[in-house]
Amino acid sequence: MKKEHVFKNGIEYKECSTCKRILELSNFSKNKPSWDGFKPYCKECASKKGKIYRKENHEDDLRRKKEWYSDTKNMIEERTKKELTLGFKICSKCNNKLEIKKFRQRPNGGFFTVCRECENKYNKNYRKENPDVYKANHAISEQRRRERSKDVVSNFTNIDWKICKKFFNSECAYCGRKLKNLTQDHFIPLSKGGNYTKDNIIPVCRNCNCQKHNKDFYTWYKEQKFYSKERENKIINYLRTFK
């Protein structure tokens, strides 16, 4: 039985089906199938339920995450193999039928629809028209190059990055902001023995990346206003998948 929302001083409230508290609507996660578009229980209760479930089903949860990663990787490899077997592709820009090697490989499998030559022309014009954006992206590329040259294990791939962002729903793993341009953060900083590997890289916004810098995650994260036990568990469970 649905319970109508309560309005007080222009603020909308709802009763949590679990703890029975009357809370502001912002304390409930969105859920399209529900009559009001929100889950019946509050975020705090959801976090507690999730913690209990993960504790009781730790092995199954870990197995499912490993299976998900394996299935996603196999799907990407199969998509690439299919196009390689075909051998040719028509560029969506110049409409020329070209060898598949003339196209750049996509991180999620297969090859881009625009050939390298057309892509290079576009990038050249983009650099001229957007110098600031280009400089920022170039700085990130240089950072990755420097990391590879250091005495660290460096085998994190574009496919790993695509899967990583997909797992976190293209959201910052720390604050939860949904962004198109997420940065790669070393969970264990390079200065403290961390590597550039899939068990040490998570997607975060630039602001969180700069704030954390080379600090210890467990100390730094709990001091932040946006701290979330639910997101903390998600990060830890994701990284444990590769152990």
Domain ranges within the chain, ordered by starting residue: 6-56, 80-148, 153-240
Beta bridge partners of 185: 202
pLDDT (0 to 100) of residue 164: 93
Whether the predicted pLDDT of 127 surpasses 90: no
Tell me the two tokens of residue 228: 């979330």
Tell me the pLDDT of the chain averaged across its residues. Answer: 88
Q: Are 98 and 88 in contact (CB under 8 A)?
A: yes
Q: Per residue in 49-104, pLDDT tens?
A: 888 887 888 888 788 888 888 888 888 889 889 999 999 999 999 999 999 999 99
- Percent of the chain exceeding pLDDT 70 equals 95
Q: Is the pLDDT of residue 173 over 80?
A: yes
Report the distance separating Cα 123 and Cα 49, nearest Å.
48
DSSP E strands, the chain = 6-8, 11-15, 22-24, 88-90, 97-99, 103-105, 111-115, 183-186, 201-204
Q: Is the pLDDT of residue 150 over 80?
A: no
- Whole-number Cα distances in Å, 147 to 14, 33, 46, 141: 49, 45, 39, 10
CATH number for the segment(s) 6-56 = 3.30.60
pLDDT in tens, 177-194: 999 889 999 999 887 888
CA-CA distance, 29 to 176, in Å (whole number)? Answer: 13
Higher per-residue confidence, 150 vs 35:
35
**What's residue 185's pLDDT?**
96
CATH tag, 153-240: 1.10.30
